[in-house]
Chains A and B, each alone.
Chain A
Amino acid sequence: MSIAPIVRTVQVKAPPGRAFELFATRMEDWWPKGRTIGKNPHVAIVVEPRTGGRWFERDAEGEETHWGKVLAWEPPGRLLLAWQISSQWSYDADLVTEVELTFTPADGGGTLVTLEHRDLERFGADAARHAELLGGGWPGFLAQFAQYTDAQLTDAQT
């Protein structure tokens, strides 16, 4: 079976090549704050510009936390990433879900950016594997996430 993929689109003013570049090489500048998994706040989110490259965040100390990898680096039209962050909110080398970005020309010189996050059923097996081990499962994950985002908000306000 499969779970319906998440599909989201957004239109930006930049042409495809520029949109691809901003998306992939300036990720730390637009990625929502608090939506990262490293122990410390990130200073960079790196998508290595090649197929087979890594996708990770880096903190001020230079410590890297893996997110996944680059399955296809095809500017200006397509970027295929492996999202390997589990339902426990940590990197899992055994979990591979795909996030595909396509950048297509839109009217007026802009770009239609489409994001598809698929293979979501793999989170099910992943959650099952971790449920007892970590005594958490979904409630734990959600509680942890809520706590984490709240902490981030507090940090941001101080």
Chain B
Amino acid sequence: MAYGTAAIEALGALGDPTRRAIFERLAARPSAVGALAAGLPVSRPAVSQHLRVLKEAGLVSETPEGTRRIYRLDPRGIAAMREWLDAHWSGALEAFKDFADEHAEEEKPE
């Protein structure tokens, strides 16, 4: 399966409760290390370490903003879900089209 390796890395990274908490916070809003550490019962260096693991797993990316680094979820980390849905909706709409075209005339007052 194409997503195999990345997904397994992501899963491993999220096995840790603190990393999961960080990931959930970043899902809500992109944040700097300081803001993340302020809301968690762990030290700032510990948060940095967790962010590094999340980044290596492809779940989080960082962008510099002034003197700080802003962390946010990396879309690649949830690409599998999106790809599945994309394929699902393509198939569903095609099926709908076939059905709708067969039944387009039923209630037309002609």
Which A residues fall within an 8 A CB radius of B? 1, 3-4, 6, 8-14, 18-19, 22-23, 26, 29-32, 35, 87, 113, 115, 117, 120-125, 127-129, 131-132, 137-139, 141-142, 145
- Tell me whether chain B's interface is mostly helix, strand or loop, or mixed: helix
Residue from the list A30, A113, A122, A131 in contact with B98, Cβ < 8 A = A30
Please give, as numbers and ranges, the residues of chain A lying within 8 Å of B30 by CB-CB distance. Answer: 1
Least distance between A92 CB and chain B CB atoms (Å): 13
Least distance between B32 CB and chain A CB atoms (Å): 14
Q: Are the CB atoms of A128 and B23 closer together than 8 Å?
A: yes
Q: Are the CB atoms of B92 and A32 closer together than 8 Å?
A: yes
Interface contacts (Cβ under 8 Å), in number, total: 137
Residue from the list A14, A19, A26, A120 in contact with B81, Cβ < 8 A = A120
Which B residues fall within an 8 A CB radius of A? 1, 3-4, 7-8, 10-11, 14-15, 17, 20, 23-24, 26-28, 30, 59, 72-73, 75, 77-78, 80-82, 84-86, 88-101, 103-104, 106-108
Q: Are the CB atoms of B20 and A131 closer together than 8 Å?
A: yes
Least distance between A85 CB and chain B CB atoms (Å): 10
**Given A3-B82, A8-B89, A121 contacting B73 (CB threshold 8 A):** yes
Residue from the list B11, B17, B99 in contact with A137, Cβ < 8 A = B11
Q: Are the CB atoms of A29 and B14 closer together than 8 Å?
A: no
Least distance between B61 CB and chain A CB atoms (Å): 9
Q: Are the CB atoms of A139 and B23 closer together than 8 Å?
A: no
Please give, as numbers and ranges, the residues of chain A lying within 8 Å of B96 by CB-CB distance. Answer: 10, 12, 22-23, 30, 113
Q: Are the CB atoms of B103 and A14 closer together than 8 Å?
A: yes
Nearest CB in chain A to that of B59: its residue: A124
Q: Are the CB atoms of B98 and A138 closer together than 8 Å?
A: no
